[in-house]
Each structure stands twice: as C-alpha cells, then as structure tokens.
A and B are shown apart, each in its own frame.
Chain A
Amino acid sequence: MAIQITVFLENRPGRIQTIANILKEKNLNILAFSIQDRGEFGLMKIIVDKPEQARLALSERGMACAAKPVFAITAADRPGNLETLTTALAKKNINIKDAYGFVSPADKQGICYLEVENPQGADLGRLLAEYGFTLIADKDLYDL
C-alpha cells in the first residue's frame, strides 16, 4: 500500500510553498498531491518517494502531519473505468473516504489513490484484480 502524508495547513498565502520547500530541501520527490479546502484551513495530501523521511522532515519543522496507508491503483485510460472500479467497491459495501485520480496523457495510464474505511489490503487487491485493475507495488512507488 502507498503511504500518504496528510499535512494540516492554514489557508493563507505561502503555506503550500513552505511544504514544497521542506520536501525540496530533503530532495524528496512528490508523486501526487491534492488539497482539501475547509475555510480557514486545508489538508494537503502528498504521495512522495520516501514517505517516512517526509513525515520526519515536516514534523521537525513543527507541522501537524500524519501518515496513513492508501491504495494506489492503475487502470487503462478508457471510458467507464471509474464506473467499473466503483461498482466493484459498492458490491462489497466498501466506503470510499477520499480519492483522487488523474491520467498521464503520455502513457495513457490512469492512476487513482484511494482511501477506504476498514482497509484490508490483500482482499482489496484480489477484488481489484478480478475487475482488471492493478495495485501499484511498493517497489514501483518508492525508492527503497
């Protein structure tokens, strides 16, 4: 499973830059990120190549951050794939807490990060395989 770092940020200019700067100083590479806006604050969710190093670097600077497992799923870039994925989850009554996805136009590859309630890694992996999706292996995500 992928490790997502969630950082608590005040909603004011320069906060994301601060995070980006901390990661840059440690030479950490951002694979994906998204931001949830909640008025006076927001949550920045980041997938980086070395999650534990990132968490430590942010904590050292006093940032409120947490690491949690999420699923990184690849799928071919074609119509109906999100429908197929969510049908699989709905049938098993799996609730999605948070998700973000995108397609890399160059290699026609869709990637989706998925946080679910009560994650049971192995089961979900099998379920996704049945529907033609692949969980990205940790070695492909991270420089170990």
Chain B
Amino acid sequence: MEVRYWNQHLETLPQSELRQLQLERLREVVGYALQTPFYQKRLKKAGIVSSEDIRSLEDLKKIPFTVKDDLRQAFPKGLLAVEMDKVVRIHSSSGTTGVPTVIYYTADDLDRWTDLLARSIVATGVGPGDVFQNMMSYGLFTGGLGLHYGAERVGLTVIPVGGGNTQRQIQIMRDFRTTVLHITPSYLLHIHQRLPEFHLTPADLNLKKAWMGSEPHSENTRLKLQNLFGIDIYNSYGLSEMNGPGVAFECVYKNDMHVWEDGYLIEIINPQTGEPAEEGQEGEVVFTNLIRHAMPLLRYRTRDLAFLHPEPCPCGRTSRRMSRITGRTDDMLIINGVNVFPSQIEEVLMSIPEVGTNYQIHLSRHEGLDRLTVKVELYSKLFTGDLSHLESLKTRINDKLRASITINSRIELHEPGSLPAFEGKAKRVVDEREKL
C-alpha cells in the first residue's frame, strides 16, 4: 500500500521526541491559558502560576479538567487569551441550555489547524488532481470550513457546496467528476438511494474516496457503503473545542484514527473517577489543545467514549490510533450531524406557557435524513378553542426550537396527560433510527 505523508518529520517522530514536543507546546499553551480570567483562577488554585510550573508531562495531572459547562460559564470572553484584534475567526455552537459556546482562532491558530487537516487528507491518499465535494455545512459549524481550507492547502479542486439539496449534489458529482466527498454516513446512504432517479449508478460517477464524520457509525456501515459505491471510506473525528475536524483521521490502512498528538494531547480516563483508564481500555476521551493560542483548552472532557490502540500502524506514523466513538457519557443526540441535548429542547418547551409539562423527543429516519419530532402536551388552562392559535403555536414552538438547536422539528400537539410522565430525562427520548 502506498503511504504518503504531508509532514513526514512530524508524522514519524519517535515517541520520545513527540512527548518532548508535546511538553514544549503544553508549556506554551499554559502560558496563554494564564492570560485568561478563567484559567488564571483555576491554575493558581492548582499551584500553577507560570508555564515554568509545568516541568514534565506528568505535571499535566495537576491541571483540573475543563468541561462543557465551563465554556458556558466563561461565555463570551472568559477563555480568550489574546486581544480581540488578533482573532480572525469565530465558531460557535448552541450549547446545552441556551447559552452558546464560542471558539476563537488567531491567524496562526487557523494555520496550524489547517495544516493538520492537510495532513489528514494526504494520509488518506488524496492529493492534487482530486476533485473534492464538501457536503458538510459551512458556517458556524466547523465541519465545512475546516476540511475546505485543508483541501485547498493540499491543492485539491474544492467544490464548497455544503449540505443538503441532493439533486444538485448529484448533478455536481456528475458534471465535475468529483473524486472525494466529506459527508455523513446517513447522507451518503441517501444519495445512493436517489441515484436511480437520475438514471445513474455509482459506476457512472468518478468517486474514489469519502471522509465520513459527524455521526457515529459502525464498521458494518462503512463496509456496506464502501460496497455500494465501490470506494474507500475513511473515518474522521473532531470537535470544535479542539478546533474542529482533523483531531484524528484514518490513514490508508483504515485501522482506526491516528490522533495528531503533536496538536492534541489525548488522555483516556475513567469517567466516574477521573483516573487514567488502563492502557487499551475504553474510557472518556480528554484532550488538551496544544496548538490554539486564542482560546486554550486544557484537559477538556469530550464526553465521548473510545479507546487507544497502543501498537504501531504499518503506515509508519508514530501517533497512536483511537477507536471510533463507542458511546457518550451524557445524553447528547446527533441529528443530521448536529449535536443536540434534550435539555436544550426542554428549556425551550418550558418557556412556552401553552405547553404542558410532559413532552417526548422522537427520532426517526426518512430518506436517509434524521427527522426530529417533538411531541408536546397542550396546557389545558390556556386552550382557547381556536384552531388558528394551535397552528401558530406549532409554528412558534418550531421557531423557538430552531433558534436554539439550529434544526427544524415537527411539532405534534397532544392532549394533557397523554404523554408518559417519566422520572428520568433519558426516557423522554425515543430513538427509532436504525443504527448505522
């Protein structure tokens, strides 16, 4: 198998040198972290007042974990380490309870991030001459823009079409002889189902490879999609807290994802105790961003569960590989690639007086796309008897939900007391989507 590198020196750095590089970069980002109100307080408590206090990678353990809620508490600028005029990009997500989270990048941060994406792209055997159709959403979501700039740096022909509009996607694939896609598994499956409408088969297209991300999927789904299209599919992993996509990426061996350890320091912990998991055991993935200076994040708990492969990969890269995400430590839902917390939906519903206390979140899949149905009970005291009020209530609920979770939902109105009343949150979610 042909193995190509983007930065052979860094990608094949011996483990000892890699750890030394991580230490240098950790000290650098701790220096930046100490510029932020949030970490100043927190690190001081842990006895770290200067980057000199980090003497070895072992000292990482002195640093307390950072969690999603810290990002909300620090909103908007509590984690900003540079002057605003040094910030050239902002990405944002909606957060779990209405308060958004924000990520800042300097020009150098974007440059370092883009370089890791270029590395990811080349690791999958893609290069100049390839035509890349980016089907991930552009905008505040990092999935679209991240791969876009990485692909331009490598020298691919980039088609920044974004998500949705299957007819146009298929036309573009055919007209421009697209060779590479960045796509979610459910959407790739949907495209396959729609091809006959256009009198096309996968053989009529020029597809060679796809990078698949944003949605958990099994090895069987990968194999099925590879067979359907006759292409190679590579798994990818990222999150906006760690810049976006390109935190870990599969190489041509497709044997789980290389974590770019010179950019992201990974730990696997027991989510209950916070102690390191045994080598090779599953646990919660914790990352320290070693390359972002505008907004440092140290020991960030992702809530994703995965494990690390300690053994080396035949591609020669020295960075360790992480498994696909095996689960979550919280109740986060992924709907058409967008992260949604049931608590966000609850908060919106409870702000609407005409809605009763019980509700149900229903997930199904239609034509390859997820459908979110929110079932709510009418609050009997505010029922007016007017149909037009009920119709406008449904519209209002959807509008308010979309403002919070960014996606559309179907609203169903139910009689008071008709939906199951649950003690725990988890059972309010009914997920009927076929596992991918």
A residues in contact (CB < 8 Å) with B: 4, 6, 8-10, 15, 36, 38, 40-41, 43, 59, 62-68, 97
Known: A41-B413, A59-B380, A62-B416. 16 other contacts (CB 8 A): A8-B378, A8-B383, A9-B415, A38-B390, A38-B391, A41-B390, A41-B412, A43-B387, A43-B390, A62-B415, A63-B380, A64-B383, A64-B416, A65-B383, A65-B385, A97-B386
Q: Which residues of B contact A6 (CB under 8 A)?
A: 385
Q: Is the CB of B416 within 8 A of A66?
A: no
Task: Find B417's partner among A4, A62, A97 (CB 8 Å cutoff).
Answer: A62
Interface size class of B (residues with CB under 8 A): 10 to 19
Query: Within residues 38 to 57 of chain B, which ones have a CB less than 8 A from any CB in chain A?
Result: none
30 A–B contacts from the bound complex (CB under 8 Å): A6-B385, A8-B390, A9-B415, A10-B415, A15-B415, A38-B390, A38-B391, A40-B413, A40-B414, A41-B412, A41-B414, A41-B415, A43-B385, A43-B387, A59-B380, A62-B415, A63-B380, A63-B415, A63-B416, A64-B378, A64-B379, A64-B380, A64-B383, A64-B415, A64-B416, A65-B380, A65-B383, A66-B383, A66-B385, A67-B385
User: Is B406 among interface residues, defined by CB-CB distance under 8 A?
Assistant: no
How many whole Å from B123's CB to the nearest CB in chain A? Answer: 49
Most A-side CB within 10 Å, residue of B379, B413, B415, B417? B415
Q: Quick check: is B384 within 8 A (CB to CB) of the other chain?
A: yes
Name the distance in Å between B352's Cβ and chain A's nearest Cβ: 15
**A62 touching B414, Cβ below 8 Å:** no
Within 8 A of A (CB), among B199-245: none
* Contact call A38/B387, Cβ cutoff below 8 A: yes
Which chain B residues border A68 with CB–CB below 8 Å? 385
B384 surroundings in chain A (CB, below 8 A): 66
Whole-angstrom distance between the alpha carbons of A36 and B390 in the complex? 12
Complex Cα spacing A143 to B386, Å: 27
Tell me, rounded to whole Å, the shortest Cβ–Cβ distance linking A6 to chain B: 3
Q: Is B73 an interface residue (CB 8 A)?
A: no
CB contacts (< 8 Å) of A9 on chain B: these are 415
- Binary flags per residue of B399-427, CB closer than 8 Å to A gives 1, else 0: 00000000000001111111000000000
Q: Report, nearest first, the 5 A-B pairs whose CB atoms are least far apart.
A: A6-B385, A66-B385, A64-B383, A64-B380, A64-B378
Q: What is the minimal beta-carbon distance from A109 to any residue of chain B, in angstroms?
A: 27
Residues of A within 8 A of B413 (CB): 8, 40-41
Complex Cα–Cα for A81 and B384 (A): 31
Max chain A CB contacts within 10 Å: which of B380, B417, B418? B380
A3 to chain B, nearest CB (A): 11
- The answer to whether A62 touches B387 (Cβ under 8 A) is no
B387 touches A40 (CB 8 A): no
Tell me which residues across on chain A come within 8 A of B387, comparing CB atoms: 36, 38, 43
Q: Please, which residues of chain B bring their CB within 8 A of the CB of A41?
A: 390, 412-415
- Whole-angstrom distance from the CB of B428 to the nearest CB of chain A? 18
B380 to chain A, nearest CB (A): 4
For the complex formed, measure the closest distance between the CB of A35 and the CB atoms of chain B, giving whole angstroms: 12
- A137, B413: Cα distance in complex, Å: 36
Which residues of B lie under 8 Å from residue A43 when comparing CB positions? 385, 387, 390
With the chains together, A130 CA to B395 CA distance in Å? 42
Contacts of A64 in B (CB 8 A): 378-380, 383, 415-416
Query: CA separation between A10 and B384, bound complex, in Å?
Result: 16
With a CB–CB cut-off of 8 A, which chain A residues contact B385? 4, 6, 43, 65-68
Q: Within 8 Å CB of A15, what residues of B?
A: 415
Assess the A40–B390 pair: CB atoms within 8 A.
no
B371-392, CB < 8 A from A:
378-380, 383-387, 390-391
Which residues does chain A contribute within 8 Å of B379, judged by CB atoms?
64
Whole-angstrom distance between the Cβ of B280 and the nearest chain A Cβ: 49
Residues B308-336 near A (CB distance < 8 A): none
Chain B residues lying within 8 Å of A97, measured Cβ to Cβ, are 386
Cβ–Cβ < 8 Å partners of B391 in chain A: 38
User: In the docked arrangement, what's the CA distance between A62 and B390, Å?
Assistant: 18
Contact of B415 among A8, A36, A59, A67 (CB under 8 A): A8
Residue of B nearest to A10 (CB): B415
- In the bound complex, what is the Cα–Cα distance between A59 and B387 (angstroms)? 19
In the bound assembly, the distance between CA atoms of A68 and B414 in angstroms comes to: 22
Closest Cβ of chain B to A58, distance in Å, is 9
CB distance A40 to B380 under 8 Å? no
* A36 neighbours in B (Cβ, 8 Å): 387
Shortest distance in angstroms between A17's beta carbon and chain B's nearest beta carbon?
14
A115 to chain B, nearest CB (A): 9
Query: Complex Cα distance A8/B387, Å?
Result: 10
Considering the chains assembled together, what is the distance between the CA atoms of A41 and B389 in angstroms?
14
Contact pattern, B 139-172, Cβ under 8 Å of A = 1, otherwise 0: 0000000000000000000000000000000000
Residue of B nearest to A6 (CB): B385
CA–CA, A46 and B35, complex, Å: 69
- Contact A10–B380 (Cβ < 8 Å): no
Nearest B residue to A98 by beta-carbon distance? B387
Question: Smallest CB–CB gap between B430 and chain A, Å?
Answer: 15
Q: Across the interface, which residues of A come within 8 angstroms of B412, CB to CB?
A: 40-41
Q: How far is the CB of B398 from chain A (nearest CB, A)?
A: 14
Within the complex, the shortest CB–CB distance from B122 to chain A, in Å, comes to: 51
| Chain B min CB distance to A131 (Å) | 28
How long is the Cα–Cα vector from A9 to B418 in the complex, in angstroms?
Answer: 10
